[in-house]
Chains A and B, each alone.
Chain A
Amino acid sequence: MRLTALIATGTLLAAHAAVAQVPVLKILTYDSFLSEWGPGPVVEAAFEATCACDLQFVGAGDGAALLARVQLEGAASEADIVLGLDTSLTAAAAATGLFAPLSAVETDLPVAFADAYFRPFDWGWFAFVYDRTRLAGPPASFEELAASDVKIVIQDPRSSTPGLGLLMWVKAAYGARAGEVWAALADNIVTVTPGWSEAYGLFLQGEADMVLSYTTSPAYHLIAEKDESKAAAPFVEGHYLQIEVAGKLRASDQPALADAFLDFMMTDGFQAAIPTTNWMYPARTPAAGLPEGFGALISPDRSLIFTAEDAQAIRVEALAEWQAALSR
């Protein structure tokens, strides 16, 4: 008995030592990226097949929690790469001085993208998603929505990334009139939830006619559930973009490996996993194209986005407008 235990311990230690010789790349990311339904497992297997290394994902709650985590850990972070920030947060992230500069890459984003510290891995347009069987003629703009009695559920910009995206969307579309638009929307808003999942759950349960999500959300229902009833409503103002990025931490002890991963990130091994695991558009369209079902999605011809610096500068004012308009 004791001998067996000893042998088992020995084997375990040996196995551990063997693993320890392989370089480890640690990637800090949001929880749904590393979950078994997210891109994490596919990406890990594909990269490990090329790198003779051990890729480990470290979870940090959701996207908005990532930046706080990076700031908490500071230079002491064990992570080499942070993956999953979006452009509403990159200015603050760059200002920490914790990220290393990266070279620019070619992308298939609908807008020009240049950032000294971050490289995009996927993107999506925010949109209001509705159920065709419950809502026949969806509004085609914020003003039409405000004038209608269509009920929407949105996320709180103070606790959720899509919520912050919507704040930016209205600001980008209406500028100084944003407060006015929010005041007009107030009676359409059923409620404001802390995060995307609560809002989407409420919408699916029939509490609202539309929910703030992405133009790609209907693809999930179409591909995974063979359900064609969900659609995103195109808005004439254009749709705000969410661009998700990754950056390399300056304090990384595996800088070469991190660079290798960030290059791998732009290849099909990573990009082809994105559409049907993260339900977003890949930053670089894979050779095989997008999966069937993505063709049925709306494709806005106007993309709205603030630069990272503008998004950072506008946030406080836009948040105050939003709060004032909806608290009344």
Chain B
Amino acid sequence: MAGRALPLGLAGLVLALMLGPVAALALWAGGLALLPADWAALRFTLVQAVLSAGLSVALAVPVARALARRRFAGRGALITLMGAPFLLPVMVAVLGLLAVFGRAGVINRGLEGLGLPGLSIYGLQGVVLAHLFLNLPLAVRMILQGWQAIPAERFRLAEALDLGPQGIARHLERPMLREVLPGAALVILSLCLTSFAVALTLGGGPGATTVELAIWQAVRLEFDLAHAAGLGLVQVAVSALAAAAAWVWVRPAGFGAGVGVGAMPVIPAPGGATRAGDALAIVAAALFLLVPLGAVVLRGMPGVSELPPSVWSAAGRSLAVAVVSALLAVTVALVLALAVAQRGSLVIELAAALPLAVSGMVLGTGLFLLLQPVVSPQAVALPVTVGVNAALALPFLFRLLLPEARALRSDYGRLADSLGLAGWARLRWLVLPRLARPLGFGAGIAAALSMGDLGVIALFAGEQGVTLPLMIQRLIGAYRMEAAAGAALVLVGLSLALFWACDAGGRRAAA
């Protein structure tokens, strides 16, 4: 296979892009600083992130298993739609959730109607609920991908050996989960570590102070860049520890090659109570994810017709940014995953985990400091957004590709080596076809994430180069809530369409 220079170089580049801004802040301020109050913020940040990540993967397992072994009309559409919350801009998702769980939401109205006391979403429970809403779809899809990666022959063999559900769980499902869960939990944990708007809006007050908020305060209110850099480094350290732990825990499942990877209905689907349990898991997850999504659609519909033309040009710009950053992210993630599948590398693992853990505020401010002496930030707003969005999508893609890249290596690596299949030919005839499914899914996630991400553009943009998320923010800032809700609906629709196109493309190429 190609040398290690390319993947290590790329990993170094990603690390530099992520750590350079932290270093720039520290250098500018001449040091790093932490304050006693930071530990309370770190404690709350860790508690909510661990709870959010743990619950997301724990609840995703039964849902993914049910979706993997049951067949019903509309299953494909349901799986695609259930992914949508993950693609929502954070505040749009929060408003959707509040329409259901909020003080004036459906549930509390119902309770009131029945004369029962209301439930409060504001507090730690609300923060975790929102993170669950945003991340459960991702966890379900990652785990479902794991189930589909178990070769159909293994399930047939288990059936022939009369292993029963316990045996299948022990020999097939648990090894698969052991490989997939740590990575999924790591990605969600990192995502929740830098949570800002969700944690603050639903947290209910200053008791819910996160490290990210402390960074905002340090940069904007106190202009204490040493403090911001110190806090940014804490976020990175926590995420690096989590990445190292995941690296230690992950065990490749090693199912061996099979022709039936991702093939249709061979996973044994017992009837009776198991069937009822599966139905419950699917219905509960669908309600939890789709009802707030419905609220987002209802809120957005009236605004769509009156959207100003500038919203559509912003949408076009966002689409272009999304496609380019997805291509970039997929390429880098594939190189890194193939390299790690060949031989483990903590450096690459770290490069693929850290982008989610770096504070958006530190990243934006640090990049600004680094770029400003060289070039006008406005002039590079879009390229910088593409680069940052690609880096932010890298952890998802890497986690999706790694298990399958490992399987590919162990199943076909020696055969391909002995055939002298290398370089472009190997990529064309072996890697791309076998990895088409996770590549398509991953590209979809990367593109959709990039569509919805406000990212550094808010710090860099001027009169031109406005993306759709920034446009939504400007509409809200100008009191135009209805138009903003309409634009958000356009954003969700485009993200979902883009995601669906990539995902379906990948599945078709794999079939």
Q: Which residues of A contact B (CB under 8 A)?
A: 31-32, 34-38, 40, 56-62, 64-65, 67-69, 71-73, 76, 78, 92, 151, 156-159, 164, 186, 189-194, 196-198, 200-202, 204-208, 217, 220-221, 224, 277, 279, 315, 322-323, 326-327
Contacts and interface: CB of A to CB of B under 8 A. Distances in A.
Contacts of A220: 479
Interface string B207-249: 1000001001101110100000000000000000000000000
Interface in B441-462: 458-459, 461-462
B206 A156 contact: yes
A32 B365 CA distance: 20
B95 A201 contact: yes
Contacts of B213: 156, 158-159, 194
A32 B477 contact: yes
Given A61-B459, A159-B213, A200-B479, 17 more contacts: A32-B478, A35-B478, A59-B463, A65-B459, A72-B365, A157-B221, A191-B122, A191-B205, A192-B203, A192-B205, A193-B200, A198-B94, A201-B91, A202-B98, A204-B481, A217-B479, A277-B478
A157 B221 CA distance: 9
A275 B122 CA distance: 35
B458 A37 contact: no
A159 B216 contact: yes
A88 B477 CA distance: 20
Nearest to A277: B478
Chain A to chain B: the 3 pairs with minimum beta-carbon distance, closest first: A206-B104, A37-B478, A32-B477
Nearest to B476: A197
Contacts of B478: 32, 35, 37-38, 277
Interface stretch (B2-10, B272-280, B330-338, B366-374): B366-374
Contacts of B368: 69, 72
A276 to B, nearest CB: 11
A326 B461 CA distance: 36
Interface string B241-273: 000000000000000000000000000000000
A221 B481 CA distance: 11
Given A151-B103, A158-B213, A202-B201, A37 B221 contact: no
A151 B122 CA distance: 13
B193 to A, nearest CB: 17
Contacts of B221: 64, 157-159, 164, 315
Given A158-B217, A192-B200, A327 B207 contact: yes
B80 interface: no
Nearest to A197: B476
Given A64-B220, A72-B368, A220-B479, A194 B207 contact: no
B369 A72 contact: yes
B289 to A, nearest CB: 20
Nearest to A153: B201
Nearest to A89: B221
A199 to B, nearest CB: 9
Contacts of A67: 220, 223
Nearest to B459: A61
Contacts of B223: 67-68, 71, 92
Interface in B75-133: 91, 94-95, 98-99, 102-104, 122
B474 A35 contact: yes
Contacts of A58: 378, 462
B508 interface: no
